[in-house]
Amino acid sequence: MLKLIKKANIYSPDYIGERDILIAKDTIINIASNIQIPDPSFCKVDIIDASGKIVVPGFIDLHVHLIGGGGEGGFKTRTPEIQLSSFLKAGITTAVGCIGTDSTSRHLTTLLAKARGLEEEGISTYIYTGSYQFPLQTITGNCRDDIILIEKVLGVGEVAIADHRSSQPSAEEFRKMAAYARVGGLLANKAGIVHVHMGEGLEGFGFLLDLIENTELSITQFLPTHINRNKHLLKESIEYVQRNGVIDLTTSSVSNIDDPDLSAGRSLGFLLDNGVPISALTFSSDGNGSLPIVDDNGKIEGLGIGSVSTLFNEVKKAVLENELEFATVLKLITSNPAERLRLLDRGRIEVGKRADLVFLSKKLDISSIISGGKFMMEEGKLIHKGTFE
Ligand code: ZN
């Protein structure tokens, strides 16, 4: 069956104007002005009127705790699994799962099963192998083989450095892990990235830069995240990008309760003002992870939970409140994460790409979602929900 979307105002993420989009099964097969259907007997075509709507690529969230995370305040503070509807309401059609602080009672096999479940329910999912701490958790015995043998594994992450919850990894064990991920990525033709959780500590970027200087590993194999957790990291990240690095800003953050300047949207403005190119940046939500509130003595004062809805909300705020250009900021949750993850079949509205689309009102409210060519939400109403929702 074909779907023809008429008169969509398309941000691909670059603005390309009003066009029609023709979809066959899960793929975009034509984009043009006023596409005509040859004859009603040709085949059944669903026609969707998108006039007055902005249509953008489905959002890609490269850091979600699909099976929950946390637990830093005892067992009752382990955060819950995410449900399909949370992704749909947030416009997310591709999500990458990881394990958090607790890799004792959270397992990669559970994460893989959850990712497969969400895929059966209608969105695309991937995972990182590995864990916050060393020794690294894996499925097959090492992270290289996980990347090569398990389709859903794109790289290693989140591995924590400069954090009181990390295993204080040595440069040696970190280097070996990154080398394994590199070879895994090469042999499986995948990203093989190492997604690095940057903690509050001041030595984070120094640790990575030392590692890169003393090996043949490329700086772009690493994707450090939570860069906007404090001003020190945010400032340091400018030099890291000047050395060809790429960085990720977290949209769920408790830091920005105390300091709104650390919200992902405002941090983005700060980075762009300081010459950081948009191509070096991504947003991710840290959805369903815990957001521990720690006092000056390292004592846990309270716990929040990350939400995937912040991913697009921060884009919206950057545009509506901080007056950044929509097409520019949109890249952080579409084409840029697609490139970082080497998911080259998505992240853009182009012929041949996956039909993952989000329809927005002029005020940038999410109204409809198409994932893999299927409507999952229409005019604000969920058409599909998770199996137990
Ligand atoms: Zn983290």
Conformational region of residue 275, where left means phi above 0, alpha means psi within -120 to 50, and beta covers everything else: left
For ligand 1, the distance from its centroid to the CA atom of residue 225, given in whole angstroms, is 7
pLDDT tens-digit series, residues 322-361? 889 999 999 999 999 999 999 999 999 999 999 999 999 9
Check if the beta carbon of residue 279 is closer than 8 Å to that of residue 14.
no
pLDDT tens by residue, 106-153: 999 999 999 999 999 999 999 999 999 999 999 999 999 999 999 999
Please say if the pLDDT value at position 257 is more than 80. Answer: no
Q: How far is the first Cα of the chain from the last one, in angstroms, to the nearest whole number?
A: 28
Q: Is the peptide bond before 80 cis (omega within 30 degrees of 0)?
A: no
Q: How many Å separate Cα 120 from the centre of its chain?
A: 19
DSSP for 77-114?
A: GBPPPP-HHHHHHTTEEEEEE---S--SSS-HHHHHHH
Q: Are 177 and 143 in contact (CB under 8 A)?
A: yes
What is the distance in A from the centroid of ligand 1 to the CA of 276?
23
Q: How far is the CA of 158 from the centre of ligand 1 (A)?
A: 6
SS3 15: strand
Residues 6+ apart with CB under 8 A from 132: 99, 100, 101, 102, 103, 158, 159, 160, 165, 166, 167, 197
Count of beta carbons in the 10 Å neighbourhood of residue 286: 29
Q: Tell me which DSSP letter residue 334 carries.
A: T
> Quick one: pLDDT at residue 294?
67
Q: What is the pLDDT of residue 205?
A: 94
Model confidence pLDDT, tens digit, residues 183-233: 999 999 999 999 999 998 888 899 999 999 988 999 999 999 999 999 999
pLDDT of 298: 62
For the chain, helix (H) and strand (E) counts, in that order, are 11, 19
Question: How many angstroms does the Cα of residue 197 sit away from the middle of ligand 1?
Answer: 5
- CA of 100 relative to ligand 1 center, distance in Å: 7
Assess contact for 153 and 130: CB atoms under 8 A: no
Distance CA 86, CA 310 (A): 11
Q: How confident is the prediction for the chain on average, in pLDDT?
A: 94
Structural contact between residues 21 and 349, judged by C-beta atoms closer than 8 angstroms: yes
| Distance between Cα 226 and ligand 1 center (Å) | 7
Phi and psi dihedrals of 75, rounded to 5? -60, -30
Residue 379 CA to ligand 1 center (angstroms) comes to 34
What pLDDT digit, counting tens, does each position of 28-47 carry? 999 999 999 888 788 899 99
For residue 313, how far is its CA from the centre of ligand 1 (angstroms)?
Answer: 20
Question: Which residues does the annotation mark as catalytic?
Answer: 286
> For residue 204, what pLDDT is reported?
87
Are the beta carbons of 37 and 22 closer than 8 angstroms? no
176 secondary structure, DSSP code: H
In the reported structure, the alpha carbon of residue 286 is separated from the centroid of ligand 1 by a whole-number distance in angstroms of: 7
Q: Is the pLDDT of residue 316 over 90?
A: yes
In angstroms, the CA 336 to CA 68 distance is 25
Q: Is the peptide bond between 158 and the residue preceding it cis, with omega within 30 degrees of 0?
A: yes
